[in-house]
Amino acid sequence: MQRQSDVDMNKISGRDVLAGAIAFHNHRIEPTMTLQPVTFVSAFIASLFLFWLPGDRADALNLEAGLEPVIHRPNQTVKSAGVVLQDLAKAEVVYLAETHDRPEDHQAQLYILQKLHQLRPNLAIALEMFQRPYQPAIDRYLAGDSSEAELQSQTQYPKRWGYPWEFYAPILRFAKAQKLPVVALNTPTEITRKVSRTGLDSLTLAEKQWIPPKSAIRLGPEAYRQRIRQIYDEIHAGSGSSTNFEKFFLAQVLWDETMADRIASTLQKRPDRLIVVLVGQGHVLYGDGIPNRVARRAGTNGFLRRPLRQRSVLLNPTKKMQEERNIAIRETLAKLSTGLPSGIADYFWHTVSR
């Protein structure tokens, strides 16, 4: 999720994020990890609303490091990460779902990208961190026609995203070195802000070029609406109006639909590519944010006319979030009569600090 909107997202309670934070400032961090399928709800809130970490902390993390990881699944030990990486490499879209201010998530993203590139050299990297109008600036950087400093300036990165540049710079350098396309996914901040205030119909034709047509923007599903409502109520201490919530929810869905539309159009142009998506966790959990919207465009009822092969990797879920998963499921089922939610992600990836 973008860091700028009408609501100051960073004022939301971040207790789950803090509970699971890994102190890395004076530690060497290596990408040993575990992967597990999971089913819980509370991860959604913690994944969307984050505390700021000072930029100099990014320098303490060796994003280039890499070790053969250890993988665990319930009642089963997978001997090699190659098993999981082979599964990811067979997909058409892979989501590496991050918490934006957590450096070890970006370390894991680079590590997975490097391994997947060995298995599927023909891949593209899709980034939430850049907004769609700034694709030409990314292309100029990848072609060697501009510097990193110019890329930051031309994409207005400090203003529009703002997390430390070194979280993402190694990934961009890798893409440039390997001549991989990088796709800007996100909705321009001005558009999302305007929609959250006055709705989709208030947009000009010039603004509408950066989002899908209104007919392709689907509000739902209900479980997603309920999770967003939980966030909204916490922000407003239960005092927010239903009308304002609907605008809030529409803005969230607009992010999801815009990014899903961009991913699907990229896949349609080059169906032979593996698209690796770097995006916040809240856009991926249970498939409700982006994945199901990509499938709607590209899958059985879309241009592929068959099921779309997608995989999601949830990076470094906190211990507290895992401990609360059964409580969260019960709470959700108490509110909804739709049955048990689908899996929150295909894999959990735990980076272990040593």
Compute the distance between CA of residue 235 and CA of residue 14 in angstroms, rounded to an integer: 11
Cα separations in angstroms, 284 against 45, 97, 222, 320, 343: 12, 7, 16, 20, 11
Query: What was the pLDDT predicted at 291?
Result: 97
Q: Which residues contact 213 (CB under 8 A, 6 or more apart)?
A: none
Please, which residues bridge with residue 94 across strands? 276, 311
Structure tokens at 174: 């890798």
Mode of pairing for the β-strands spanning 274-280 and 123-131: parallel
Mode of pairing for the β-strands spanning 71-73 and 76-78: antiparallel
Nearest to 125 by CA among 170, 156, 80, 164: 170
Q: For the CA atoms of the chain, what is the radius of gyration?
A: 19
Largest pairwise CA distance in the chain: 56
Nearest to 64 by CA among 169, 161, 163: 169
Check if the beta carbon of residue 94 is closer than 8 Å to that of residue 276: yes
Compute the distance between CA of residue 95 and CA of residue 283 in angstroms, rounded to an integer: 10
Reported pTM = 0.78
Domains and CATH numbers, the chain: 9-353 (3.40.50.11550)
Query: What was the pLDDT predicted at 354?
Result: 52
Structure tokens at 326: 């059964």
Burial of 221 (0-12, 13-18, 19+ CB in 10 A): middle
Query: What was the pLDDT predicted at 41?
Result: 37
SS3 call for 96: strand
Which positions of the chain have pLDDT values less than 50?
1-67, 72-77, 324-341
Query: Quick one: DSSP state of residue 341?
Result: P
DSSP 288-331: TTTHHHHHHHHSTTSTT-S---EEEEEE---HHHHHTHHHHHHH
Compute the distance between CA of residue 83 and CA of residue 171 in angstroms, rounded to an integer: 23
Q: In degrees to the nearest 10, what's the CA dihedral of 247, 293, 108, 173?
A: -90
Nearest to 6 by CA among 262, 245, 258, 257: 245
SS3 call for 172: helix
Please report where in the chains the tokens 């070195």 appear, as a residue.
177
Compute the distance between CA of residue 186 and CA of residue 258 in angstroms, rounded to an integer: 7
